[in-house]
Amino acid sequence: MTTGGGSWLSGRVRALLRPGSTGRAATIAVLVVAALLGSAYVLGRSLIPERPRHSAAGVTSDLNGGHYADQPPAEPTVSEQAEQDGDHTEPPEPTEPAEAGQDGSSRDATGDGLFGAHATTGNDRVALTFDDGPDPQYTPQVLAALREFGVRATFCLVGEMAESHPDLVRAIVADGHTLCNHSWNHDVTLGKRSPDAIRADLLRTNQAIRAAAPDAPIVWYRQPGGAWTYPVVSVAHALGMTPLHWTVDPSDWEAPGAAKIASTVSSQVEPGSVVLMHDAGGNRQGTVEALWQLLPELTARFDLEALPTDQT
């Protein structure tokens, strides 16, 4: 049932739309114009680009953006990892006291680097070190360059890479280079895990290396990312390995180009330096090319050595 006012309005609309009504044409025109205006609005909105999304940290994100293969993903902090794992307890404090160095870093009497890791050769010689391999594309090129200039270096091997490329492990040993354990799969957070987990990781890596080269000594350990902790240093020592850090880092893992890598090493190297470079873990062609540029100069300025294979 409708009210009188409603019946009157309905009657007026029917009257305007009757054939021959003088208002019919005007009404239809109004409806057509309204429809056109609505379509134009929708079309206009579709032509306006959507605003980029922002994360809670204020970083602009783009679902179609590029991926930087040579840049490692940001590692979660210990508290963030605990939150992800459902563990809300605070991480344990180091179990041994540290002596503060002049630069404010934690050092002890067993070495010249963080938590007692060795960061220099201990003499006037310079050590070139190569991390993350062996890699079938870049390791042979690095070996060829070193062989050309009669230089022996130290290769810090990742366990899963050694297991996949045992022939390259044997090639490294055959050329007289020193081997170094660099964890099973480059776990930067390994030092935050339990001593048993650290021990299992390092033993698994040594087993993969020794499966390829049974008689090769492994007396050095390098923590991925240089993220040293007392537990990882202690376990390495217990397994007969000396923790190895570095003094010169050209950040070649970022693939800045051969010229930048060579320039950084050349300007920072000095007697006793341990130089960090990579023969795997991404595009390392820049490192290979930088090596060819550096070796003539470095061999003229310094004695280059592989780190010793007896316990330091």
The residues annotated as belonging to the active site are: 131, 278
Tokens of 241: 């390995």
**What element of type H or E holds 100?**
strand 99-100
Alpha-carbon torsion (5, 6, 8, 13), positive or negative: positive
Residue with token string 């290396």: 209
CB atoms within 10 A of CB 48: 7
Residue 154 CA to residue 170 CA, distance in Å, equals: 14
- CB-based contact 171:138 (threshold 8 Å): no
CA dihedral 135, 138, 140, 142 (to 10 degrees): -120
Sort 176 into a burial class: Cβ within 10 Å, 0-12 / 13-18 / 19+: middle
Distance CA 50, CA 63 (A): 12
Q: Is the dihedral of CA 256, 113, 155, 274 positive or negative?
A: positive
Rounded to 5 degrees, what are φ and ψ at 201?
A: -65, -50
What sign results for the dihedral spanned by CA atoms 52, 56, 59, 62? Answer: negative
